[in-house]
Amino acid sequence: MSDNWEMYFTNVDEAPAAMLVDMGAAASAPDPERPVLLWMWLHLKSPNEEGFATDEEEPQLVEIEDAFIDAVELTGDAILVGRITTSGRREFYFYAKSAEGFEDSIAESMQAFEEYEYETGEQEDEEWNHYLNVLYPEPENMQEIFNMRVIENLSDEGDSLTTVRPVEHHATFVDDDSRARFVAAAAAIGYTKLSDDLSDDPEEELKFGVTLQREHAVDWESIDDVTFGLFELASENEGLYAGWSSPVVKE
């Protein structure tokens, strides 16, 4: 288990889901030494309307997690790679050499929490499909993670977030024509081009970069709306939205 964990929100089976994923595990996925997927689903006692844990129940859940995760990771050299909270349950996913001892470790750890119901399971997953295709974020979710990082940094600096200010946005494209189409479409909805750039990396497919600017707030709802729109616009023009930057603005 690495120290590189990220959270994002999505839908699982059409229900809201909070995903917590070990991003560092991707560097060694699939791990041939751990071909077995193990899971434990913990049913919440008092989920909110969205199926997530309440602030009141969260401390109890943390205590339960601390009790069984260490025990499981000692079983078959298992590692925790992700967690999903959705539909009134919290799902934990591990990869291990085998399932030997997994259920016993869970049962022993949960003896102190008899008021909670849980389920366990296992399956062969040599290619780590569950980690790569379910837990690991899609490009749009990666953008959400990036947005949260920048917002947290701005907040730490005392930024008001809701104050309108000039914000720069960056994108890259396969050729100049694709970039030009993107710039024209973005200009039609209020963006101004600040600069073009060209990568000299021979391995880079998206060499043609551009920086745009528009004035808007950078609170979570505002920035998600702006960046997801630009992400889609760049994709439509054979490009990739590459992020944003903002000055710190205090009230």
Lookup: tokens for 44: 């919440």
Q: Hunting for tokens 């990220």 — which residue is that?
A: 6
pLDDT digits (tens, 9 = 90+) for 195-248: 999 999 888 999 999 999 999 999 999 999 999 999 999 999 999 999 999 999
According to the model, what pLDDT value does residue 19 have? Answer: 96
CATH architecture of 139-245: 2-Layer Sandwich (3.30)
CA distances from 232 to 149, 172, 187, 190, 211 (A): 21, 13, 15, 16, 16
The pLDDT assigned to 1 comes to 62
Tell me how far apart the alpha carbons of residues 81 and 78 are, in angstroms, rounded to a whole number: 9
Per-residue model confidence (pLDDT) at position 139: 87
| CATH fold of 5-135 | Alpha-Beta Plaits (3.30.70)
- Is the predicted pLDDT of residue 71 greater than 90, yes or no? no
Q: Is the pLDDT of residue 193 over 80?
A: yes
Query: pLDDT of 99-125, one tens digit each?
Result: 999 999 999 999 999 999 999 999 999
Among all chains, which residue has been given the structure tokens 């001892």?
101
Task: Kindly report the average pLDDT of the chain as a whole number.
Answer: 93
Which amino acid is it at 208? F
Contact yes or no for 39/125 (Cβ under 8 A): no
Reply yes or no on whether the pLDDT at 146 is more than 80: yes
CB atoms within 10 A of CB 116: 14
The model's confidence at residue 16, banded by pLDDT at 50, 70 and 90, is very high
For the segment 4-19, the average pLDDT, to the nearest whole number, is 91
1-15, 22-36, 139-153, 158-172: range with lowest mean pLDDT: 1-15
Mean pLDDT of 63-73: 88
The amino acid at residue 4 is: N
Q: What b/e sequence results for 145-184 when a residue is b if at least 16 CB atoms lie within 10 Å of its CB, and e otherwise?
A: ebbbebbeebeeeebebeeeeebebbbbbeeeebbbbbbe
Beta bridge mates, 36? 96, 124
Overall average pLDDT of the 156-185 stretch = 96
Rounded mean pLDDT of 55-80? 89
41 phi, psi to nearest 5 deg: -105, 120
Extents of the domains making up the chain = 5-135, 139-245
pLDDT attached to residue 12? 87
At residue 15, the 3 state secondary structure works out as strand
